[in-house]
A = this chain, B = another copy of it.
Amino acid sequence: MSIVLLAKSLGLSISTVSRALNGYEDVSAATRERVVLRAKAIGYRPNPSARRLGAGKTLAIGVILPAAGSTGQAVDSMYSSLLGGVVTEIEPAGYHLLASMQAKHDAARETALFENFIRGGWVDGLLIVRTRVHDARLELARAAKMPFVAYGRTESDQPYAWVDTDNEKAFRLATTRLLDLGHRRIALINGPEEYSFAQFRRRGYVRALASRKLKPDPTWMLHGDLTEGAGHELCRSLLIRRPAPTAFVCATDSMAFGAIAACREAGLSIGRDVSVIGYGNSSLSAFCDPPLTTMEHQVFENGRYVGRALLQLLRKEIQPADVHYLEPVVLVPRKSDGPAPQ
């Protein structure tokens, strides 16, 4: 009954107070000021639930966090920074972030959860993270006319809003660097292949090889979870081949650390006998031994971009097709790679 009291204390009608507070033009400047002042004075805060019902808006952006790895017991830590960036932008506009989580790596359950999210009227907009090559979520969101921004691209014949890292360029750069160092047997330790980022990375890797007339060997492009364990396992399986790779490009720093462990177990010196490049420029990468050559990835900033884009989409200031932000990628050279051994 709060706005009622406020209106009463001002001798105005509820509607005038509401319109004054929401900045409508049909309230005189003097009245508006009086209302705003009094509202502040008595500490009036519009009830969000009532507001939502009245305006038909939820003032919330939804996101479904993907579980990391196959155990489903953790969330990829990258997302906390992404969400931090999003919240930083949407919070001042009065929006909040409604987080759900996908318990397991299960596309069907994920779709159901997603549909509930959309259809249930929980949110005004969506953040779709970790896109797949073919991603049913985009179609669902579109069908429900729910504004969204995808973090990562996907295959779609319709325009849609996306923010992505230039994965292809990143892996082209990394692979080219290794080629320039004289490596010819370069393996790719990639993430799960259903995710678009893995496809882009693979493409970058393949193109770098192709530009030197080298034929990429599919058995040297492996996929696994984005964990140290998977990196370790995949690297090991590559090292026992003859001839073995002399260099590894990894989908994340975590995988790179796993690969490094495997190389070390095989008695190889990192940066001399074998080269490893990671991705993400995690805070650790500068402090490990040897410091990891990796690719810089500004997750927090990307989150901010996503947040701004979502707000503009909600206000219909822009169209989905206007949101195509490809984060430039920078290689951070350190000591985990070096000239190819003879």
In the complex, what residue of chain B is closest to A67 when comparing beta carbons? B84
Known interface pairs A53-B49, A81-B75, A88-B101; A264-B283 also in contact (CB < 8 Å): no
Min Cβ gap A236→B in Å is 12
In the complex, what residue of chain B is closest to A82 when comparing beta carbons? B75
Known interface pairs A65-B80, A65-B87, A101-B91; A73-B289 also in contact (CB < 8 Å): no
Contacting B at CB under 8 A, from A66-88, are 67, 73-81, 83-84, 87-88
Which residues on B sit within 8 Å (CB–CB) of A232?
A: 287
Which residues on B sit within 8 Å (CB–CB) of A191?
A: none
Min Cβ gap A306→B in Å is 14
Decide yes or no whether A50 CB sits under 8 A from chain B.
Answer: yes
Which residues on B sit within 8 Å (CB–CB) of A79?
A: 80
Min Cβ gap A56→B in Å is 8
| Interface 1/0 per residue, A285-309 and B, CB below 8 Å | 0111100000000011000000000
| Interface 1/0 per residue, A255-267 and B, CB below 8 Å | 0011011001000
Decide yes or no whether A164 CB sits under 8 A from chain B.
Answer: no
Pick from B80, B98, B122, B264: contact of A75, CB below 8 A.
B80
Min Cβ gap A75→B in Å is 4
**Complexed CA–CA distance, A51 and B287 (Å):** 51
**Complexed CA–CA distance, A227 and B116 (Å):** 39
In the complex, what residue of chain B is closest to A81 when comparing beta carbons? B74
Min Cβ gap A146→B in Å is 14
Decide yes or no whether A178 CB sits under 8 A from chain B.
Answer: no
Pick from B47, B100, B103, B257: contact of A121, CB below 8 A.
B47
Min Cβ gap A265→B in Å is 10
Pick from B74, B101, B119: contact of A87, CB below 8 A.
B101
The 7 listed contacts between A and B (C-beta, < 8 Å) are A49-B56, A73-B300, A77-B77, A87-B99, A99-B99, A257-B287, A260-B287
